[in-house]
Every structure is written in C-alpha cells, then in structure tokens.
Amino acid sequence: MLVLIFLAVPVAIAISVPSVLGIYVVSGTASAVSVLSSAPFNTVASWTYSVIPAFIFMGMLMVESGLTTKIYRATERWFGWLPGGAGVGTTAAGAGLASVSGSTIGMTYALARAAIPELLRAGFNKKMAVGTVIVAGIPGSVIPPSILLVVYAGIATVPVGQQLVAGVIPGVLIAVAFGALILSIGFFKPALVGKSAGDKKFTSEYSWGDRFSSLLPIWGFPAVMLVLFGGLFSGAFTPTEAGAAAALMALVVAVVTNIQSGAIQRVGRAALKTVSASAAIFFIIIGAELLTRLLSITGLSRLVTSWIVGFDLNPITFLLALMVMYLLMGMFFDTLSMMVLTVPILVPILTQMDISLIWFGIFMVLLGELAMVTPPVGILSFIIHGIAKDPEVNLGHNITLGDIFTSLAWFLPVAVAFIVFLIFVPELVEWLPALVG
C-alpha cells in the first residue's frame, strides 16, 4: 500500500488493491470474489453518504456563482478598520468558504489568488500575507457542512448530524484564535500589517454604506446557511434532507444571480464537478471498507488493539502521541487519506479507552488539516508557493518556500495549542451534539 502511494498511484487504488490481495491470500478466491461483488455497492449505497453529493453540489454552485470573490470583498470592508483587519477578513472568508467548498486545497487555491495581492497592497509583510492565507481554511474543515466529517461519520459509524454539529464551536473558536493573533500582531508589530508604529487610530477607507452594500451581492450565502443550519438545528430536516435542501437553495441562488451571465452553463459545470468529486470520494470510501474487512478477517484490528492497550497509556498520553503521528503523516497524505488509513484501526482502540468517537472526528480532521501545512512537506505550503510565483499574485515580492515555512511560525503554535486544549476540555466539542441529539 505504501509503495503504491509513494509511486503516486491514486489513493483509492493504492488502498483497494493490496486489501483485496490480502483477503485473497488469507481466505482464498471465494472470499476475494465475494468482497469485490458486494463491498463496493453495499458501502456507498448508504443514506448517510447520500449527503456527500448534495454538499459538494451546494459548494460547487456557490463557487460557480462567483460568491467566493464577493465574500472576500465583503469581509475586507467589514474588518478592514482593525489593525491587521485585511488578515482578519481573510481568515473569516477562508473559514466560510472552506466549510461550503468541501475542499481546503481548492478553497486555498482560489483564496490565495485573490487574497495575497490584496494583503500585499494593504502593506502586509510578505510572510504575514502568505501565512494568513495558508491557515485560513483550517477552521472551515470542521464547520458544517464538512465533507470530511461526513466521511468520518460513515467510517466510524457515528450519527452524521451529531458529527456535523460537533464542529461548529471548535471551528468558530479556532478562526477567532487566528483572528486574535493577527490583531495582536497588528497592535504590537504594526509594521507587519502595513501600519506605522505611531498609528494609534485605526480607520477604514470604507463607509458604513460601503459595508452594507457589500452584503447585497452575497445574500445567497446566508440564505443557503439559513436553510442548512435552520433545518438541522430545528429538527425539521435530517442531515441528508438538510444537505438536499441547501443544495436546492444554492441552485436557486446560482440561477437568480447569474440569470444574464450563463446560469445554465454554470450549473452544468457545477454538476460535472460534483459527479467527479463524489466519484473520487466514494472510491476512497470503498477502499476504506476493503481495508476494514482485511483487518477484520486477519484479526489485525484485535491484535493492534491489544498491543496498544497493553502499553497502559492513559487517554491523554495516547492522544498526544496521535498528534505527533498525524503531523508526520501529513508530510505524505491528505486528510482524507489519513482518515481512511487510520480510523478503521483506531476505532476499537478509542472505544476501549472510552474516548468519544464524535470528539475524535473533530480532533482528527483538525490535525489532518494542520498536518497539510506543517513543514517540511506540507502539501498546502507547496501549493501556495506555486501560486506565489505568479507576478500578478506576488506584486514584485520574491516569496520563497523558506518564507512560507517561516510564516507558519506565527500560526502553528496557536493551532497546536488549541488542539491540545480540546484534549483537556472535550466539552467544547461534545456539548452541542448532546444538546441536539
């Protein structure tokens, strides 16, 4: 499996092929054929997973509607008066956009092209600018609707609704933590955010009229969120129904806001991208199921569980060790791949240690997203570096890979401290799902 992954074979194939071969070697041809004939359909033909294409379609429609750029402009106008306000606005926009796009990588790619030049024009130090953009999508990875949390809920067999709701408080709080960090830097190191040391009065070039007018083009975003969260929290919709209703609302928004600029073409592109993204995710889920069956047939799950429990680690020590493991895995895998590879093995161990599986979903996704930016091999860092080479993005600044890794020195300690805080105060994650459940 690892050999195939390092040879750049798609993760779904790299997981599925060795799993089927393992089942064949251990149990023979009949078992391998039986698994191949039943697992693919039975795994993804699930009411729980039907929310995935709905959420993806909703996000794709909002991107095709041009809402991403409009949301960024609005946050810039509302937060621009603060010290480092452009960065705070970028963090807020990134959290919102990542939550609906279903892809931190895709959101970061889009946001970087819009935000980096704007931050540089605002006077931000180049390292501060790229660091702000890199971490902007991390909170959105757990704020509903989160595709990663839906997939995790399926693999760990926990209620999707409770798992989605669990991400609200930690997602908002980590976004606030990043915003507070940027504000603090604006106060104590104003030169890094384009202010002079003697500039004690922070004002905005935008009037209140400009701010409120910037909200009009993004009316579709709160409308979709109202349908999604209103239906989910009121109990009017199940998570699957809420996803379908939100996708329908996003379709209405896309058509209404682009009625004169190719609405049908935009909806068509969103539909094609949804089919492609859904197929890729379902293929990975099938691979996870095949791996789970191999672990079950061979007894490896029981063996690993007994081995780890035999160390007599307390839950906190075990979770701190997992933090290190996930940060190292992030050098080679994206969050979804890490989830598929590790969750089937960890679920019985977590159950044995009485660690909430819903809480662990938030812990795992945040760590996976954080690992994707952590030096020396964070995937997102290299993506941002590639974008920052464009003269239209860097505005003449030479942004090196070293600059990008250095920029993370401001943000990573905050993120790591927040995740450790969740270990010691799990109620932040568990309170809202218990209330809704």
The amino acid occupying position 401 is L
pLDDT at position 105: 67
Half-sphere exposure of residue 138: CA atoms within 13 angstroms, side-chain side: 34
134-188 per-position pLDDT tens digit: 888 788 888 877 888 888 888 888 888 888 889 889 999 999 999 899 888 888 8
pTM, full prediction: 0.79
pLDDT at position 417: 93
pLDDT at position 342: 84
Closest of 291, 298, 304 to residue 341, by C-alpha? 291
Q: What are the counts of helices (DSSP H) followed by strands (DSSP E) for the chain?
A: 23, 0
Overall average pLDDT of the 405-425 stretch: 90
Q: How far apart are CA 346 and CA 327, in angstroms?
A: 16
Q: Reduced to 3 states, what is the DSSP secondary structure of residue 151?
A: helix
Cβ-Cβ contacts under 8 Å for 109 (sequence gap 6 or more): 383, 387
Q: Which two tokens stand for residue 360?
A: 């662990």
Question: 329 or 223, which is more confident?
Answer: 223
Residue 228 has pLDDT above 90, yes or no: no
Overall average pLDDT of the 69-79 stretch: 75
Please answer whether residues 290 and 41 qualify as being in contact, where contact means their C-beta atoms are separated by less than 8 angstroms. no
Please answer whether residues 203 and 396 qualify as being in contact, where contact means their C-beta atoms are separated by less than 8 angstroms. no
41-58 per-position pLDDT tens digit: 888 887 777 888 888 888
Residue 197 has pLDDT above 70, yes or no: no
Is the Cα dihedral 344, 348, 351, 353 positive or negative?
negative
Q: Quote the DSSP letter at residue 24.
A: H
Grade residue 24 by pLDDT with cuts at 50, 70 and 90.
Answer: very high
Please answer whether residues 84 and 186 qualify as being in contact, where contact means their C-beta atoms are separated by less than 8 angstroms. yes
Grade residue 200 by pLDDT with cuts at 50, 70 and 90.
Answer: very low
Please answer whether residues 399 and 130 qualify as being in contact, where contact means their C-beta atoms are separated by less than 8 angstroms. yes
Q: Please provide the average confidence, as pLDDT, over all residues in the chain.
A: 82
Residue 314 has pLDDT above 70, yes or no: yes
pLDDT at position 425: 92
pLDDT at position 201: 45
Q: How far apart are CA 351 and CA 141, in angstroms?
A: 24
pLDDT at position 18: 92
Per mean pLDDT, which range of 169-178, 222-231, 332-341, 384-393 is the poorest? 332-341
So where are the chain's domains?
49-195+206-436
Overall average pLDDT of the 376-390 stretch: 77
Grade residue 424 by pLDDT with cuts at 50, 70 and 90.
Answer: very high
Residue 264 has pLDDT above 80, yes or no: yes
pLDDT at position 418: 93
Grade residue 397 by pLDDT with cuts at 50, 70 and 90.
Answer: confident
